[in-house]
Amino acid sequence: MPIALIVHGGAGAIAPQRQAAARQGCAAAARIGWEVLRQGHSAMEAVMAAVVALEDDPTFNAGTGAVLTAAGHAELDAGIMDGATLGVGAVAGVRRIQNPILLAQAVLASPQVLLLGEGAEALAATQGIPFIDPMHFVQSYQRMPSQPLPADASGLDHEGKHGTVGAVALDAAGHIVAAASTGGYLGKPEGRVGDTPIAGAGFYAEDGVGGIACTGDGEAFIRMQVARRVAEALGRGMDAQAAASQVINVVQTRIGGTGGLIVIDATGRVGFARSTVNMSYAYFTEGLSAPVVGI
């Protein structure tokens, strides 16, 4: 079976001074994930390694780089799906977790599918998953160049920080895993949850079909079940790139939702599409010695 891996670092209008860091962060995460796959490890291990690297890079609005809500604290969401078992693990609204994707993976191993806030953090404590001082997010925000909280920051083409992250991998055994992690959007209302921890909306994986990870207007992506819609297009025989472009187009024309997504189909073909000005991404497929990187 061919192997493949793709990551993204969020859709939106990425300010010119942030573009090099976004490209480099995606390339670095793709290299980390690809090395895991190349050494014969699983898509699960590759996706986890790539998403942890993206969460640890303050360039991105996920993990340590997460933005603040209107109430002035960070609330992070993440989700992962194992295409071999159709298992899902997700967390929403966690405030003290350094790598929400690690906690999502712990939920995947539990009987539950989605845990919120303090309940999710209680699981983290039992699993030895690292906590972070919530003040970290406030202090990093204060260090950013003057950024007043916009009254309505929900549009992706404003200058607020973007950088939801995602990764999809196909391993040599034919297993596909997809994952996503985000801080949501700058100034979001307290308690708001978007598509990132919602299977079928922000991410989806099914062996023999494909894997998808999304970024964009979370509410639109939930309403249109974007990741699932791409999987259905793949299931009808559409190739990865055509499916990505078609679904991103439908979300925009049908309900005005903008964003982007990455996809790998069951044969290892990669696709990506965006309706925003930018989306940072990087991918490896068989035969490449360096990642293809774009924004």
- Which positions lie near ligand ASP, rule CB under 6 A? 10, 162, 164, 182, 184-185, 194-196, 215-216, 218
As beta bridge partners, residue 292 has: 283
**Least distance (Å) from ligand ASP to the CB of residue 208?**
27
Q: Are 81 and 264 in contact (CB under 8 A)?
A: no
**Which amino acid is it at 90?**
A
Closest residue to ligand ASP, judged by C-beta, is 218
- Euclidean distance between CA atoms 280 and 199, whole angstroms: 22
8 Å CB contact between 49 and 165 = no
CB nearer ligand ASP, residue 87 or residue 216: 216
Going by DSSP bridges, is the β-strand pair 76-82/176-182 parallel, antiparallel, or unpaired? antiparallel
Among residues 161 and 175, whose Cβ is nearest to ligand ASP? 161
Residue 63's region, left for phi above 0, alpha for psi from -120 to 50, else beta, is left
**Smallest gap from residue 168 Cβ to ligand ASP (A):** 15
Measured from the CB atom, is 182 or 252 closer to ligand ASP?
182
Q: Which residues are identified as catalytic?
A: 164
The H or E element that residue 76 is part of is strand 76-82
Q: How far is the CB of 150 from ligand ASP (least distance, A)?
A: 14
Which pair of tokens denotes residue 125? Answer: 């404590």
Work out how close the CB of 24 gets to ligand ASP at its nearest, in angstroms, rounded to a whole number.
19
CA 183 to each of CA 6, 52, 180, 250, 253: distance values in angstroms, whole numbers, following the listed order: 20, 14, 11, 25, 26
Max Cα–Cα distance, the chain, nearest Å: 50
Radius of gyration of the chain (CA): 17
Cβ atoms within 10 Å, residue 94? 29
Question: Residue 156 Cβ, how far from ligand ASP at the closest point, in Å?
Answer: 6
- The smaller minimum CB distance to ligand ASP, of residues 34 and 203, is found at 203
Backbone angles phi, psi at 264, to 5 degrees: -130, 130
Closer to ligand ASP by Cβ: residue 10 or 100: 10
